[in-house]
């Protein structure tokens, strides 16, 4: 039982191969399926349909991944500019005047999406080194900070004076 496997090579999947997957119960015969027993690997229509739906879903996600990445970068940059100007009004005014700040992704002031959801960068002043909560608080802040760019992390850690 432990030697059984089935691996799908999505680069080999074409429309015709997907159609044949639905029509032919010998799923091991498909060139995009690599399994422990290609000769006798068979599947019910339900199994073949689940494989079909999974492949179509994954291919669809791959198709929209680039536009979604661009949208995410735009939103992240927009929110960073908004945070930089402290108001939406100032962001619009500076944009109209053509005086927008250049906030590159490598800037110490640029925050990731994780950093924008929780803008705390300082350690809690009420928790000191001898407090049992200190290590936990430090770990939480370090985990959140790990998603930032190198310059931002350096600025934050230097401010902590740990």
Q: Which two tokens stand for residue 33?
A: 């399926």
pLDDT in tens, 85-108: 888 888 888 778 877 667 788 888
Say what the pTM is: 0.62
Report, in this order, helix, strand and coil percent for the chain, each rounded to 5: 60, 5, 40
pLDDT in tens, 46-71: 888 988 999 999 999 999 999 999 99
């Amino acid at each position: 039982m432990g030697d059984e496997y089935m691996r799908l090579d999505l680069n080999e999947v074409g429309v015709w191969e997907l159609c044949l997957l639905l029509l032919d119960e010998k799923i091991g015969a498909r060139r995009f399926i690599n399994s422990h027993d290609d000769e006798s690997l068979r599947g019910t229509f339900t199994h073949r349909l689940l494989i079909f739906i999974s492949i179509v879903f994954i291919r669809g996600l791959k198709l929209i991944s680039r536009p979604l990445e661009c949208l995410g970068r735009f939103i992240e940059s927009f929110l960073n500019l908004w945070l930089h100007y402290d108001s939406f009004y100032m962001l619009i005014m500076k944009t109209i005047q053509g005086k927008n700040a250049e906030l590159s992704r490598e800037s110490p002031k640029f925050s990731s999406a994780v950093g924008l959801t929780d803008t705390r960068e300082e350690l809690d002043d009420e928790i000191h080194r001898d407090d049992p909560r200190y290590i936990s608080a430090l770990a939480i802040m370090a985990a959140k900070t790990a998603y930032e760019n190198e310059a931002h992390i350096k600025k934050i850690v230097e401010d902590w004076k740990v």
